[in-house]
Amino acid sequence: MRILHTMLRVGDLDKSIAFYTEVLGMCLLRQKDYPKGEFTLAFLGYGNEAENTAIELTYNWGKSDYQIGTGFGHIAINVADVSQAVEVAKQLGVEVIRDAGPMNAGETMVAFLKDPDGYEIELLSKKF
């Protein structure tokens, strides 16, 4: 297992991309609009996602601001099999927020758990 990305909700995607690329020297690795879900995802980092952790910026269309604390989304962990990982988590008494299934407006298999402090952890099976 390894950490894939940390997600932050942003109110101005272009401004945020400029900050992470120009101020912090990251590269825009990929970006995609999800019209059915009315959001855009942009992944930034210091190298190929197959070998490096990234920052996921989520822009929810029409939402321009968040309070600090509500902007944090989740930590993503790559697992071999999302359904199997969820079953193990359930057996260990972990709260499952979203059972294994395709992501909203996409096809990637995902699930969400809560850590002991209530932080969301996304599990996904992703081949690089």
Q: 51, 52, 57: which is closest to 20 by C-alpha?
A: 57
Which one of the listed residues 51, 95, 120, 122 is annotated catalytic?
A: 122
Confirm if 109 and 124 have CB atoms less than 8 A apart: yes
Q: Helix and strand tally (H, E) in the chain?
A: 2, 8
Q: 68, 67, 78, 72: which is closest to 108 by C-alpha?
A: 78
Dihedral of CA 115/118/123/128: which sign? negative
Our answer to whether residue 122 is catalytic in this structure is: yes
Q: 29, 24, 34: which is closest to 53 by C-alpha?
A: 29
Q: Which residues are catalytic?
A: 122
